[in-house]
Amino acid sequence: ITIFFFTSTVLQLQFFSWWSSYNEAINYLATVPKYRIQATEIARQQGLLNKTKEKGKNRRSKEEIREEEEEIIKDIIKNKIDIKGGYQKPKIYDILLFQILLAPFYLCKYIVWYCWWIYCFTIKGQEYGVEEKLYIIRRYMKMSQSQFDSLEDHQKETFLERQLWIRENYEVYKKEQEEELKKKMAMDPRWKRYRRWMKNERPGRLTFIDD
């Protein structure tokens, strides 16, 4: 009973912690122009913002109107806008206990999917669809699904245009990105200072000072 109570408490704390982080993320996204503009437009189309400015007996102060409009925008971001990456709404199935219990199901699901992949693309030689191409690109980039989902659509379109699901194309792209990163770091004043420090005062260097 004690173990059950302890486990239950930990799971509840974990889930509520996720919800707290999720609400903090929503508060942040409400300040990001991309999501705020979308949410404001949806609110206008649905006439939600007009209701906050009613006159007569229901008239409210500017501060109350602003707070209510802010809550409307946040609510629309939560429920209407497709939020990708690490800002997704937490689900109870994401809790470790459920992940362990559902592990056999996920394993069977993966085996079925893998057999389907081999049959379609190795045995039958079908061409990859968009989802399959993006899956291969994501694997090459060693990114999780949530990390890949957080990328902008135009970035994914670039990946497809450059045919990065083909290994040779991806290697060229990877080398280009590495070279670009090196150039940016070479131009960064902070990186220049760090290199000078490593050259002149690098850790572990023995210095002899004459008495």
**Could you tell me if 7 and 86 lie in one domain?**
yes
> In this structure, is residue 4 part of a structural domain?
yes
CB atoms within 10 A of CB 74: 18
Q: How far apart are CA 69 and CA 50, in angstroms?
A: 10
pLDDT classification of 211: cutoffs 50, 70, 90: very low
Of the candidates 90, 106, 139, which is a domain's last residue?
Answer: 90
**pLDDT exceeds 60 at position 56:** no
Average pLDDT over residues 54-82: 75
The DSSP result for 28-47, as a single string, is HHTTSHHHHHHHHHHHHHTT
> In this structure, is residue 69 part of a structural domain?
yes
**pLDDT exceeds 70 at position 187:** yes
> In this structure, is residue 56 part of a structural domain?
no
**Interior angle at CA 182, CA 135 and CA 161, nearest 5:** 35
On average, the pLDDT of the chain sits at: 79
Q: Which one has a higher pLDDT value, 191 or 137?
A: 137
> In this structure, is residue 132 part of a structural domain?
yes
> In this structure, is residue 205 part of a structural domain?
no
> In this structure, is residue 152 part of a structural domain?
yes
**Could you tell me if 68 and 140 lie in one domain?**
no
pLDDT, tens digit (0-9, with 9 covering 90-100), for 79-117? 776 666 556 666 666 666 677 778 899 899 999 999 999
Q: What whole-number percentage of the chain has pLDDT above 90?
A: 27
> In this structure, is residue 210 part of a structural domain?
no
| Structure confidence at residue 90 (pLDDT) | 65
| Structure confidence at residue 92 (pLDDT) | 66
Number of structural domains in the chain: 2
For residue 4, the enclosing domain spans 1-50+63-90
| Structure confidence at residue 52 (pLDDT) | 54
114 phi and psi, to 5 degrees?
Answer: -65, -40
**Could you tell me if 133 and 194 lie in one domain?**
yes
**Could you tell me if 85 and 23 lie in one domain?**
yes
Average pLDDT over residues 162-181: 92
**Could you tell me if 83 and 6 lie in one domain?**
yes
**Could you tell me if 79 and 24 lie in one domain?**
yes
> In this structure, is residue 120 part of a structural domain?
no
**Could you tell me if 80 and 155 lie in one domain?**
no
CB 127 within 8 A of CB 133: no
Q: Which of 42-46, 148-152, 157-161, 195-199 has the highest mean pLDDT?
A: 157-161
**Could you tell me if 24 and 70 lie in one domain?**
yes
